[in-house]
Amino acid sequence: MKIKKISENVYEIDKEKCMNVPVKIFASEKILEKIKKDDSIQQAKNVACMPGIQGRSIMLSDAHQGYGFPVGGVAAFDTEHGCISPGGVGFDINCGVRLLTSSLDKKEVEPKIKEVINDLFDHIPCGVGKESKLRLDDNEFDDVLNSGLKWALDKKYADKKDLDRCEENGHMKTADASKVSLRARKRGRRQLGTLGAGNHFLEIQYVDEIYDKEIANKFGIISENQIVVMIHSGSRGLGHQVCGDYLKKIEDEFPEIFNNLPDKDLAYAPTDSTLAKDYLGAMSAAANYGWCNRQIISYETRKVFSKMFGVDLNLVYDVAHNIAKVEKYKIDGVNKDVYVHRKGATRAFGPGHKEIPKIYRDVGQPILLPGSMGTASYVLVGTDKAMNETFSSAPHGAGRLMSRHEAMKKFEGEIVRKELEKKKIYIKAASVRGISEEAPDVYKDVDDVVKVSDKVGIGKKVCRLRPLGVIKG
């Protein structure tokens, strides 16, 4: 396998064997060496073999090995002669991030950080299998799945501004609750408004450095040391079950496809099949659930901040990291609709795109890139170059360096907690194991990941954020 350097931070693997398109890797030399240590490059090559893939199979600077598709991977497929793959979205459908700003300064919140975090922890269920207090009947749950944030608005968990500042306005029109299994519904019904476990978190952060003051101000980020809140969660057990259900359905319905795959986790349904449309309906319903989940967490967070500080929290943006949807791009000189699969990647529309909220349209879409607990997170902005180079995609985080199993063996949760407290970062977690699995050194250096995106021009740096307090499952 020959990896060619195209330009600074851009590499390519030419078509070979079954590959229909080349693989393009956006990484520094340092990051590329780390990427080579797992099977993510082979996974990207496998993706390049899938029918109807357009342009290139993409690996971003946070790429690492996933199930089927690499995490930090992007691929676009022809809407008529291509395919839709649950593995190209992943098990945590609409795992995503939202950022809320406050009028508070670091010096106002830091002395009370333990109190704030503890109160938030009491209001927001965290951890594996934790349930919320919400109890929805069948019709109301269908409304969540079909309507997304429109349901939250009707129930006064959201205001109109929240919907305006959310990808897809928090509502995938392709959602079809009838395509979500009873088992998936059962898993998700009592988890709405819960943080979950793994790499999901709620962080109280402060603005550490502003790189573009004009764009930052446009996003409501006014000054250094300003307090913001970042929420990272997804569709919980419901999304996981939807993915598992449809992988099994594809295996049963298309054995001739499934049995000839280089990796069974790449299972796909042809775009013209009923099963592809059913999966899209179920996936979109799970995405709507994910947006409602983060909205209810935001609602509870706003209540705590209002009670303790007398301030409101304003939504900057909410963006999905694991999703598939139809978008239009110029490919080989022709404008065409494609199914863009983003797995561990953030949409990054450049200035002027009609799907960007009007308030941000002249500068580009906010990109929210969380780090690992104890490290920085970033706000970037989408660019025209991303639209041309990566199907409007940018990295979604730091990207793992080691598995959770390895992390458990290497890091002791209590030691990690104490090290974070030495850095004046207070952490409250549902389990010590969760701290071990998500220790900062488990991930790539987020500064390096962001630097690549900024230098290549697929995501321009706006500001850097640092944590004061963290809630984890």
Between 406 and 320, the more confident residue is 320
Q: What is the DSSP string of 367-405?
A: EEE---TTS-EEEEE--HHHHHHSSSEEE-S--BSS-HH
Which whole number is the average pLDDT over 27-52?
Answer: 96
Active site residues: 396
Phi-psi region of 198 (alpha: psi -120 to 50; beta: other; left: phi over 0): left
Residues 81-100 pLDDT 10s: 999 999 999 999 999 999 99
- Residues of the chain with pLDDT > 90, as a percent, come to 84
- Predicted confidence band of residue 433 (pLDDT cuts 50, 70, 90): confident
Examine the pLDDT at 249 and tell me if it is beyond 70. yes
Cα(301)–Cα(298) distance, integer angstroms:
5
CATH number at residue 369: 3.90.1860.10
pLDDT at 246 (0 to 100): 97
Residues 308-323 pLDDT 10s: 999 999 999 999 999 9
Cα(189)–Cα(346) distance, integer angstroms:
27
- Predicted confidence band of residue 417 (pLDDT cuts 50, 70, 90): confident
**Joined tokens for residue 302:** 């706003």
- Predicted confidence band of residue 124 (pLDDT cuts 50, 70, 90): very high
Give the chain's domain count.
1
pLDDT at 285 (0 to 100): 98
Parent domain of 454: 4-472
**pTM given for the model:** 0.96
Which whole number is the average pLDDT over 37-54?
Answer: 96
Amino acid of residue 85:
S
Examine the pLDDT at 31 and tell me if it is beyond 70. yes
8 Å CB contact between 468 and 447? no
Between 436 and 13, the more confident residue is 13
Strands 345-347 and 53-64: unpaired
Please enumerate in sequence order all residues whose Cβ is within 8 A of that of 274, keeping only pairs 6 or more positions apart, or say none: none
pLDDT at 40 (0 to 100): 96
Examine the pLDDT at 297 and tell me if it is beyond 90. yes
Closest C-alpha to 466, from 327, 373, 382? 373
Residues 323-352 pLDDT 10s: 999 999 999 889 999 999 999 999 999 999
